[in-house]
Structure 1
Amino acid sequence: MTGFAVSDWDDAYENGRNIPNGSDWPVAWVAPAQAFRHRGSNRLDISYGKSERSRYDLFLPEGTPKGLFVFVHGGYWVALDKSYWSHLATGAVDSGWAVAIPSYDLCPTVSIAEITAQIAAAIDHAAAAVSGPVVLAGHSAGGHLVTAMMCDNTPLSPATQSRLRHVISLSGLHDLRPLLATKRNEMLRLDMASATAGSPALQRPLPGVRLTTWVGGGERQEFLRQTALLTNIWHGLGCTTQAIVEPDRHHFNVIDGLADRSSPLTRTVLRDPDDF
């Protein structure tokens, strides 16, 4: 086997310039997200903290929800907000689940550790409003944030931890240390200590919580590696895991299946634990 070294860490973690028509995103999400925000029983801009961005949207199904599904967006912890992703609640809502999508403060105004605490506060707040099991999914940086929720040092409350059943990391970042070598770190302000402490792959998973890692087959090699890394390590620590590489998907369209209740992604997210 021939090894290789990464010579350009910025390019290794750059998605837009390495995807055909990559500049189409995130604009492509705006219209469907806006349309979904105006349908059904939606509760928008629920405050879960003191800052202006500490708010989440809650999308409700008809009847009593089967449980709570929380989607945490990406943007390298420095960009975007909850309004771009509302349509991704469609599959779960149509399946009878309540869906919460939070915003959070961004680097460099706050640290990644502070964002992680904010996401826990948002999930705890939503879980107090919706009974039943809790399932989490996050995309890219959001994948980091949701897997941090199932580490044994999770900032989630004990009550929410006891209801957490399944975490899905979509093209997630699970080892933050390589980002020290990127220009993005001027905004993230990580050092080796904070990157190590904040990396789910370097922590132990909570017992009794399932992990699914999901990544597009056409993604950058680092996202494929980061995805395989967490599944491999946590499997060895006794976690029930599965790793899925979806063919012909890239970093931006790998999340599209969440908008369709019949998609393999939505069915995997919400599947009964006995079928896992």
Structure 2
Amino acid sequence: MSVYRNFNQVELDKQYNVRGGIPDYQDIFSRWSSTSAAFRQANRVIENVPYGSNETQNLDFFPAATAGRPLLVFIHGGYWQSLDKSDFSYIAEPYIKNDINVAVVNYRLAPSVGMDEIVADNRDALIWLYRNAEDLAFDKDKIFLSGHSAGGHLTATMVSTDWTAHGLPADVLKGACAISGLYDLEPIRLCYLNKAVGLTAEQVAAYSPARKLPTVKTPIILTVGGDESNEYHRLQAEYAALLGSRNMEIQIVDQADGHHFDAVDRLGDEENELGKAMLDLIRRYS
């Protein structure tokens, strides 16, 4: 029986079970953790900076060598229910090398909280960063955002946020990069992931970037691993077409190969086309 887009339940679950298609994913997670720990040891970092009252509402801030430089914010993935900012410190390396500040955000996770709280946490982190830019010595008018998987979804959601309703400029985000993003949450609601995430139909409507397009023309990079499932490629293609209908500035970074976790590694590699594109976007709008 079809559950979603001609997929039965088993087929739909397989499309979104990224770990199931990557047998060595635990080794990858261990590499992320150890590489990130070494990076924090070797570089200046202000760890666990609170932006809210919950112990999980914090971020790591990697300062640039020069005051008044841009800021790149990174939102981690994990299907809104796993992983931690400390796993992704390594992403900061090429940006610190190019005198760009980096903040890596933690947020409360499902099933302890729902999508309302997860979105609110990431919004609050950006608000806090903007309001504390002077203390952190970065340029609040040069904030860029990036995220992977669930973080790609949250990045696109932040791009569609009405920042004026929170006392910030409408164009507070000068550019963004969404990697392997989930731009329509309906298949998530219908697949195995929803046992933890607990999405409702109302939340799908409210927090699907494809259903709530930006009103500000924020430049955005979209990319997905070449070997990722058909659904990930479909979500990106349809979201890109919708953004194009709004005359948004879109850059698609095609990855000829690479699975779901390779895709995020490439953001932290200035020799890769994705790392180059992110650095170029920051330079062009700074």
Asked whether the equivalents of residues 266 and 272 of structure 2 are also in contact (C-alpha less than 8 Å), the reply is yes
CA distance in 2, matches of 1:156, 1:120: 12
- Equivalent AA in structure 1 for residue 118 of structure 2: I
- Equivalent AA in structure 2 for residue 125 of structure 1: W
Asked whether the equivalents of residues 91 and 262 of structure 1 are also in contact (C-alpha less than 8 Å), the reply is no
% identical aligned pairs: 29
1:56 pairs, out of 50, 56, 59, with 59
TM (norm. structure 1) is 0.92
CA distance in 2, matches of 1:237, 1:188: 30
Alignment match, 2:202: 193
Alignment match, 1:76: 79
Q: Displacement of 1:167 after TM fit? A: 1.1
- Aligned to 2:62, what secondary structure does the other structure show? strand
In structure 2, runs of 5+ residues without a counterpart are: none
CA distance in 2, matches of 1:156, 1:115: 18
- Aligned to 2:221, what secondary structure does the other structure show? strand
CA distance in 1, matches of 2:224, 2:267: 13
- Equivalent AA in structure 1 for residue 266 of structure 2: G
Kindly tell me: are residues 144 and 171 of structure 1, through their superposed partners in 2, closer, same or farther at Cα, counting changes over 3 Å?
A: same
Alignment match, 1:248: 257
- Aligned to 2:159, what secondary structure does the other structure show? coil
Q: Displacement of 1:165 after TM fit? A: 1.2
Alignment match, 2:154: 145
- The Cα RMSD (Å) is 2.0
Alignment match, 1:6: 7
Greater Cα shift, 150-159 or 132-141: 150-159
Alignment match, 2:180: 171
Greater Cα shift, 220-229 or 158-167: 158-167
Greater Cα shift, 241-250 or 103-112: 241-250
Asked whether the equivalents of residues 104 and 118 of structure 1 are also in contact (C-alpha less than 8 Å), the reply is yes
CA distance in 2, matches of 1:264, 1:245: 9
1:29 pairs, out of 18, 32, 54, with 32
Q: Displacement of 1:238 after TM fit? A: 2.1
1:114-151 C-alpha deviation (Å, 9 max, x unpaired): 11111111122223322141111100000011111111
1:211-234 C-alpha deviation (Å, 9 max, x unpaired): 111111111111111111211111
In structure 1, runs of 5+ residues without a counterpart are: none
Kindly tell me: are residues 91 and 157 of structure 1, through their superposed partners in 2, closer, same or farther at Cα, counting changes over 3 Å?
A: farther
Asked whether the equivalents of residues 108 and 187 of structure 1 are also in contact (C-alpha less than 8 Å), the reply is yes
Asked whether the equivalents of residues 70 and 282 of structure 2 are also in contact (C-alpha less than 8 Å), the reply is no
Asked whether the equivalents of residues 106 and 115 of structure 1 are also in contact (C-alpha less than 8 Å), the reply is yes
Asked whether the equivalents of residues 90 and 258 of structure 1 are also in contact (C-alpha less than 8 Å), the reply is no
Alignment of 1:199-214 (within 5 A): 199-214=208-223
- Aligned to 2:45, what secondary structure does the other structure show? strand
- Equivalent AA in structure 2 for residue 113 of structure 1: D
CA distance in 2, matches of 1:66, 1:196: 37
CA distance in 2, matches of 1:262, 1:224: 24
Q: Displacement of 1:261 after TM fit? A: 3.1
CA distance in 1, matches of 2:164, 2:89: 25
- Aligned to 1:70, what secondary structure does the other structure show? strand
Asked whether the equivalents of residues 46 and 55 of structure 1 are also in contact (C-alpha less than 8 Å), the reply is yes
Q: Does the alignment pair 1:19 with 2:28?
A: no
CA distance in 1, matches of 2:273, 2:165: 28
Asked whether the equivalents of residues 163 and 172 of structure 2 are also in contact (C-alpha less than 8 Å), the reply is no
Greater Cα shift, 21-30 or 151-160: 151-160
Q: Displacement of 1:110 after TM fit? A: 1.0
